[in-house]
């Protein structure tokens, strides 16, 4: 449960940062909305995205993995339909938003991992 909460908090920060960087095309009304977006994205990425990846293996292989970007856009668009007060203006903005959120989340998780003391064996 703590891992889920920490992952949600990290993703919420990333969502707020991405919305700030793309303020002309990504609109989030409040911090609570960002937390809700993080929860919905986490659920969609854990349950819907693997199904979409499996169903689209042939086209993903044909496009050398570039079709996965389309799946990321689709996940962001689904989140905009589910979360009130969260809006992304275009598919290109959704792509940039997903890339920025992924990058910032990875950076924060790496910083946290590097700052944790190593466990004695």
* Domain carrying residue 82: 10-105
Angle among Cα 108, 113, 116 to the nearest 5 degrees reads 125
Judged against a pLDDT cut of 90, whether residue 61 lies above it is answered with yes
Is position 20 within any domain? yes
| Within-domain flag for 38 | yes
Mean pLDDT of 41-58: 96
Q: How many domains does the chain have?
A: 1
**4 domain-assigned:** no
The predicted model scores a pTM of 0.90
Whether residue 31 lies inside any domain: the answer is yes
Mean pLDDT of the chain: 94
Please report which confidence band the pLDDT of residue 119 belongs to, taking 50, 70 and 90 as the band edges.
low
In a domain, 120, yes or no: no
DSSP state of 69: H
Query: Which tens digit of pLDDT belongs to each residue from 1-23?
Result: 888 899 999 999 999 999 999 99
């Amino acid at each position: 449960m703590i891992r889920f909460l920490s992952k949600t908090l990290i993703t919420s920060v990333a969502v707020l940062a991405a919305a700030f960087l793309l303020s002309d095309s990504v609109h989030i009304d409040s911090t609570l909305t960002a937390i809700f977006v993080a929860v919905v994205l986490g659920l969609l990425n854990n349950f819907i995205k693997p199904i979409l990846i499996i169903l689209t293996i042939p086209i993903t292989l044909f496009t050398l993995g570039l079709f996965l970007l389309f799946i990321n856009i689709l996940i962001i668009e689904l989140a905009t339909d589910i979360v009130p007060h969260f809006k992304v203006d275009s598919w290109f903005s959704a792509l940039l938003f997903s890339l920025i959120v992924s990058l910032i989340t990875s950076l924060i998780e790496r910083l946290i991992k590097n700052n944790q003391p190593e466990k004695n064996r």
